[in-house]
Structure 1
Protein backbone atom coordinates (compact mmCIF):
# COMPACT_ATOMS: atom_id res chain seq x y z
CA UNK A 1 0.00 0.00 0.00
CA UNK A 2 1.46 3.38 -1.07
CA UNK A 3 0.16 6.80 -0.15
CA UNK A 4 1.13 9.87 -2.15
CA UNK A 5 0.35 13.53 -1.56
CA UNK A 6 -2.64 14.85 -3.50
CA UNK A 7 -3.04 18.40 -2.20
CA UNK A 8 -3.14 20.65 0.85
CA UNK A 9 -6.29 22.57 1.73
CA UNK A 10 -6.80 26.04 3.18
CA UNK A 11 -10.26 27.46 3.79
CA UNK A 12 -10.50 31.08 2.71
CA UNK A 13 -12.99 33.81 3.55
CA UNK A 14 -12.63 35.97 0.41
CA UNK A 15 -11.82 33.72 -2.56
CA UNK A 16 -11.06 36.52 -5.03
CA UNK A 17 -8.69 38.24 -2.61
CA UNK A 18 -6.93 34.94 -1.89
CA UNK A 19 -6.58 34.05 -5.59
CA UNK A 20 -5.06 37.47 -6.27
CA UNK A 21 -2.63 37.06 -3.35
CA UNK A 22 -1.43 33.57 -4.32
CA UNK A 23 -0.95 34.65 -7.95
CA UNK A 24 0.99 37.81 -7.05
CA UNK A 25 2.98 36.52 -4.08
CA UNK A 26 3.82 32.99 -5.27
CA UNK A 27 2.90 32.77 -8.96
CA UNK A 28 0.36 30.01 -8.34
CA UNK A 29 -2.28 29.57 -11.02
CA UNK A 30 -5.67 27.89 -11.14
CA UNK A 31 -5.51 24.32 -12.44
CA UNK A 32 -9.16 23.39 -11.89
CA UNK A 33 -12.28 24.41 -9.97
CA UNK A 34 -15.35 22.70 -8.61
CA UNK A 35 -18.57 24.42 -7.58
CA UNK A 36 -21.20 22.70 -5.47
CA UNK A 37 -24.47 22.23 -7.34
CA UNK A 38 -26.25 24.22 -4.63
CA UNK A 39 -23.61 26.98 -4.54
CA UNK A 40 -22.62 26.14 -0.97
CA UNK A 41 -18.90 25.86 -1.72
CA UNK A 42 -16.24 26.42 -4.33
CA UNK A 43 -12.97 24.52 -4.55
CA UNK A 44 -10.10 26.06 -6.47
CA UNK A 45 -6.90 24.09 -7.04
CA UNK A 46 -3.69 26.05 -7.53
CA UNK A 47 -0.45 24.75 -9.00
CA UNK A 48 3.07 26.05 -9.40
CA UNK A 49 3.51 24.74 -12.95
CA UNK A 50 6.52 22.66 -11.90
CA UNK A 51 5.55 20.12 -9.24
CA UNK A 52 2.43 17.95 -9.19
CA UNK A 53 1.48 19.19 -5.71
CA UNK A 54 -1.67 21.35 -5.50
CA UNK A 55 -3.05 23.84 -3.02
CA UNK A 56 -6.82 23.62 -2.66
CA UNK A 57 -8.57 26.81 -1.58
CA UNK A 58 -12.05 26.16 -0.22
CA UNK A 59 -14.65 28.92 -0.06
CA UNK A 60 -17.81 28.20 1.95
CA UNK A 61 -20.87 30.32 1.11
CA UNK A 62 -22.26 30.25 4.65
CA UNK A 63 -19.04 31.33 6.40
CA UNK A 64 -19.91 34.74 7.81
CA UNK A 65 -16.64 35.67 9.50
CA UNK A 66 -12.89 35.31 8.99
CA UNK A 67 -11.47 31.98 10.15
CA UNK A 68 -10.06 31.65 13.66
CA UNK A 69 -6.64 30.09 13.11
CA UNK A 70 -5.89 29.58 16.81
CA UNK A 71 -2.15 29.52 17.40
CA UNK A 72 -1.57 29.03 13.64
CA UNK A 73 1.26 26.59 14.27
CA UNK A 74 1.02 25.01 10.80
CA UNK A 75 2.41 26.34 7.55
CA UNK A 76 3.20 25.49 3.96
CA UNK A 77 6.74 26.01 2.66
CA UNK A 78 7.81 27.21 -0.77
CA UNK A 79 11.30 27.05 -2.27
CA UNK A 80 12.33 29.98 -4.46
CA UNK A 81 15.22 30.17 -6.93
CA UNK A 82 15.84 33.91 -6.36
CA UNK A 83 15.46 34.41 -2.62
CA UNK A 84 16.54 38.08 -2.64
CA UNK A 85 14.06 39.02 -5.37
CA UNK A 86 11.26 37.14 -3.60
CA UNK A 87 12.10 38.89 -0.33
CA UNK A 88 12.02 42.30 -2.03
CA UNK A 89 8.66 41.51 -3.68
CA UNK A 90 7.09 40.32 -0.44
CA UNK A 91 8.51 43.29 1.47
CA UNK A 92 6.90 45.60 -1.12
CA UNK A 93 3.60 43.71 -0.78
CA UNK A 94 3.77 44.14 3.00
CA UNK A 95 3.04 40.47 3.66
CA UNK A 96 6.20 39.42 5.52
CA UNK A 97 5.10 38.46 9.02
CA UNK A 98 8.23 36.82 10.47
CA UNK A 99 11.90 36.69 9.55
CA UNK A 100 14.63 34.35 10.75
CA UNK A 101 17.85 35.62 9.15
CA UNK A 102 19.94 33.13 11.15
CA UNK A 103 18.12 30.25 9.41
CA UNK A 104 17.92 32.15 6.09
CA UNK A 105 14.13 31.98 5.88
CA UNK A 106 11.08 34.19 6.29
CA UNK A 107 7.31 33.81 6.39
CA UNK A 108 4.55 35.66 4.58
CA UNK A 109 0.92 35.81 5.66
CA UNK A 110 -1.98 35.35 3.24
CA UNK A 111 -5.27 37.34 3.47
CA UNK A 112 -6.68 34.82 5.97
CA UNK A 113 -3.59 34.86 8.19
CA UNK A 114 -2.09 31.53 7.07
CA UNK A 115 1.71 31.58 7.26
CA UNK A 116 3.74 30.50 4.22
CA UNK A 117 7.46 29.79 4.67
CA UNK A 118 9.85 31.00 1.98
CA UNK A 119 13.14 29.12 1.74
CA UNK A 120 15.97 29.40 -0.77
CA UNK A 121 16.22 26.57 -3.30
CA UNK A 122 18.77 23.93 -2.41
CA UNK A 123 21.86 23.98 -4.61
Structure 2
Protein backbone atom coordinates (compact mmCIF):
# COMPACT_ATOMS: atom_id res chain seq x y z
CA UNK A 1 0.00 0.00 0.00
CA UNK A 2 1.31 3.47 -0.93
CA UNK A 3 0.18 6.91 0.11
CA UNK A 4 0.97 10.20 -1.61
CA UNK A 5 0.74 13.52 0.20
CA UNK A 6 -1.54 15.81 -1.79
CA UNK A 7 -2.29 18.87 0.33
CA UNK A 8 -2.13 20.58 3.69
CA UNK A 9 -4.84 22.87 5.03
CA UNK A 10 -4.46 26.27 6.68
CA UNK A 11 -7.53 28.17 7.83
CA UNK A 12 -7.24 31.89 7.05
CA UNK A 13 -9.03 35.01 8.25
CA UNK A 14 -8.72 37.06 5.05
CA UNK A 15 -8.61 34.94 1.90
CA UNK A 16 -7.61 37.76 -0.46
CA UNK A 17 -4.74 38.84 1.78
CA UNK A 18 -3.53 35.24 2.11
CA UNK A 19 -3.71 34.59 -1.64
CA UNK A 20 -1.70 37.76 -2.32
CA UNK A 21 0.90 36.78 0.31
CA UNK A 22 1.41 33.24 -0.99
CA UNK A 23 1.72 34.44 -4.56
CA UNK A 24 4.25 37.18 -3.74
CA UNK A 25 6.25 35.27 -1.13
CA UNK A 26 6.30 31.77 -2.64
CA UNK A 27 4.92 31.96 -6.18
CA UNK A 28 1.85 29.89 -5.31
CA UNK A 29 -1.22 30.58 -7.43
CA UNK A 30 -4.81 29.43 -7.31
CA UNK A 31 -5.37 26.01 -8.88
CA UNK A 32 -9.03 25.51 -8.02
CA UNK A 33 -11.71 26.81 -5.70
CA UNK A 34 -14.73 25.39 -3.87
CA UNK A 35 -17.41 27.80 -2.67
CA UNK A 36 -20.26 26.66 -0.44
CA UNK A 37 -23.67 27.22 -1.99
CA UNK A 38 -24.69 29.23 1.06
CA UNK A 39 -21.42 31.23 1.10
CA UNK A 40 -20.37 29.84 4.48
CA UNK A 41 -16.91 28.81 3.31
CA UNK A 42 -14.45 29.09 0.46
CA UNK A 43 -11.61 26.64 -0.08
CA UNK A 44 -8.81 27.60 -2.45
CA UNK A 45 -6.02 25.23 -3.44
CA UNK A 46 -2.75 26.96 -4.33
CA UNK A 47 0.37 25.46 -5.83
CA UNK A 48 3.02 25.80 -8.50
CA UNK A 49 4.58 23.84 -11.34
CA UNK A 50 7.34 22.23 -9.23
CA UNK A 51 5.09 19.69 -7.48
CA UNK A 52 1.55 18.32 -7.40
CA UNK A 53 1.37 19.05 -3.65
CA UNK A 54 -1.02 21.89 -2.84
CA UNK A 55 -1.74 24.18 0.07
CA UNK A 56 -5.45 24.37 0.88
CA UNK A 57 -6.55 27.76 2.23
CA UNK A 58 -9.94 27.66 3.94
CA UNK A 59 -11.95 30.77 4.75
CA UNK A 60 -15.00 30.47 7.03
CA UNK A 61 -17.56 33.29 6.76
CA UNK A 62 -18.75 33.08 10.37
CA UNK A 63 -15.28 32.94 11.95
CA UNK A 64 -14.58 36.23 13.71
CA UNK A 65 -11.77 35.43 16.13
CA UNK A 66 -8.16 34.75 15.14
CA UNK A 67 -7.08 31.15 14.87
CA UNK A 68 -5.11 29.78 17.80
CA UNK A 69 -1.96 28.14 16.50
CA UNK A 70 -0.92 26.92 19.93
CA UNK A 71 2.86 26.95 20.23
CA UNK A 72 3.12 26.98 16.42
CA UNK A 73 5.39 23.93 16.55
CA UNK A 74 4.60 22.92 12.99
CA UNK A 75 5.50 24.28 9.59
CA UNK A 76 5.52 23.65 5.87
CA UNK A 77 8.96 23.78 4.21
CA UNK A 78 9.91 25.20 0.82
CA UNK A 79 13.18 24.69 -1.01
CA UNK A 80 14.36 27.82 -2.85
CA UNK A 81 16.38 27.47 -6.04
CA UNK A 82 17.85 30.94 -5.38
CA UNK A 83 18.07 31.14 -1.59
CA UNK A 84 19.71 34.59 -1.47
CA UNK A 85 17.09 36.12 -3.79
CA UNK A 86 14.28 34.51 -1.77
CA UNK A 87 15.77 35.84 1.48
CA UNK A 88 16.03 39.34 -0.01
CA UNK A 89 12.37 39.22 -1.11
CA UNK A 90 11.16 38.01 2.27
CA UNK A 91 13.30 40.57 4.06
CA UNK A 92 11.75 43.31 1.87
CA UNK A 93 8.27 41.93 2.65
CA UNK A 94 9.09 41.97 6.38
CA UNK A 95 7.83 38.43 6.89
CA UNK A 96 11.01 36.73 8.19
CA UNK A 97 10.20 35.64 11.74
CA UNK A 98 13.20 33.44 12.60
CA UNK A 99 16.62 32.70 11.14
CA UNK A 100 18.95 29.83 12.00
CA UNK A 101 22.27 30.89 10.50
CA UNK A 102 24.03 27.73 11.73
CA UNK A 103 21.61 25.53 9.78
CA UNK A 104 21.39 27.96 6.85
CA UNK A 105 17.59 28.23 6.96
CA UNK A 106 14.94 30.78 7.91
CA UNK A 107 11.22 30.97 8.50
CA UNK A 108 8.60 33.38 7.25
CA UNK A 109 5.17 33.96 8.80
CA UNK A 110 2.03 34.29 6.71
CA UNK A 111 -0.71 36.83 7.57
CA UNK A 112 -2.34 34.38 10.01
CA UNK A 113 0.91 33.50 11.78
CA UNK A 114 1.63 30.14 10.14
CA UNK A 115 5.39 29.55 9.87
CA UNK A 116 6.90 28.49 6.55
CA UNK A 117 10.49 27.23 6.41
CA UNK A 118 12.76 28.24 3.54
CA UNK A 119 15.78 26.06 2.82
CA UNK A 120 18.42 26.32 0.09
CA UNK A 121 18.51 23.88 -2.81
CA UNK A 122 20.71 20.88 -2.11
TM over 0.5: yes
How far the C-alpha of 1:6 sits from its partner, in A, is 1.5
Alignment match, 1:98: 98
Number of residues of Structure 1 aligned to a counterpart in Structure 2 = 122
What SS does structure 2 have at the residue aligned with 1:22?
Answer: helix
Aligned ranges 1:1-123 → 2 under 5 Å: 1-122=1-122
Unpaired runs of 5+ in structure 2? none
- Between the aligned partners of 2:9 and 2:46, the Cα distance in structure 1 is 10
Question: How far apart are the structure 2 equivalents of 1:89 and 1:6?
Answer: 27
1:86-121: per-residue Cα shift (whole Å, max 9, x none)?
Answer: 001000000000000100000000000000000001
Q: What SS class does the counterpart of residue 11 from structure 1 fall into? A: strand
2:50 and 2:76 map into 1 onto residues whose CA distance is 16
How does the TM-score come out when normalised to structure 2?
0.98
Aligned alpha-carbon RMSD (Å): 0.6
